[in-house]
Amino acid sequence: MKRTTAASCGMSSCHVCYKLASQSAHQCPRCGASMHQRKPGSLQRTLALLVTGCLLYIPANLLPIMITDQLGSSEPSTIIGGVVLLVQLGSIPVAGVIFIASVMVPISKFAAMYYLCWCAAKEAPSNALKMSKLYRITEFIGKWSMVDVFVVAILVALVSLGGVLVIRPGAAAMAFAGMVMVTMVAAESFDPRLLWDKMDDVNE
């Protein structure tokens, strides 16, 4: 069964209230928002944000995300170092959550978004419906990468025993938070309807 898109019928959808209107309309007849058939510069903006996120991901993993000051000595800890330390202390479930949220999820999101951009730009996907589901899953799980930053923020707020023990956020915390926010914006910038446009091109 051939699926028909709004674009192939000469229609466009409002990004605010989702009302369908003619492609010739410049403003939504319902809410007055600007109408455009596809997000302008969607692929270019998404790829630029993904490259920025990848660049931020490097210092986020190499620099210390947390610095522990204990009895006058400072001990920095990276994300992977913190995971290894938690494993050594026997907190394997916590280490697993941080590893998945802070390492596996960002890498998976980068891979999925690059693949979606490639499919939208170069190759018509064999199943645009599956690609659309992949996009929605990627968009949903991306925000959970902030778990590690939340842990550091909570520790900084709670653990402060005068000059005995103080926990401070490291430079990686800012880089990691920036990476998560940039990738979230990248997911919002991507227009999954481009995948269906490729399917229309193939069907024609």
How crowded is residue 154: how many other Cβ atoms within 10 Å of its Cβ? 11
* DSSP state for residue 16 in the 8-state scheme: T
CA 24, CA 19: separation in Å to the nearest integer?
14
pLDDT tens-digit series, residues 94-150: 788 778 888 888 888 999 999 888 888 876 556 777 888 888 888 887 666 666 566
**What's the chain's length in residues?**
204
Per-residue pLDDT at 98: 79
Map out the domains of the chain as residue ranges.
Answer: 1-37, 41-203
Strand boundaries in the chain, DSSP class E: 11-13, 20-22, 66-70, 73-77, 160-161, 165-169
pTM of the shown model:
0.74
* Residue whose entry in the numeric block shows the structure tokens 């709004």: 6
The pLDDT tens digits for 11-53 are 777 766 767 777 777 788 778 777 767 777 888 999 999 999 9
Q: What is the C-alpha to C-alpha distance for residues 161 and 63, in angstroms, rounded to an integer?
A: 25
* In contact, 51 and 170? CB cutoff 8 Å: no
Of 1.10.3470, 1.20.1250, 1.20.140, 1.10.12, the CATH number of 41-203 is 1.20.140
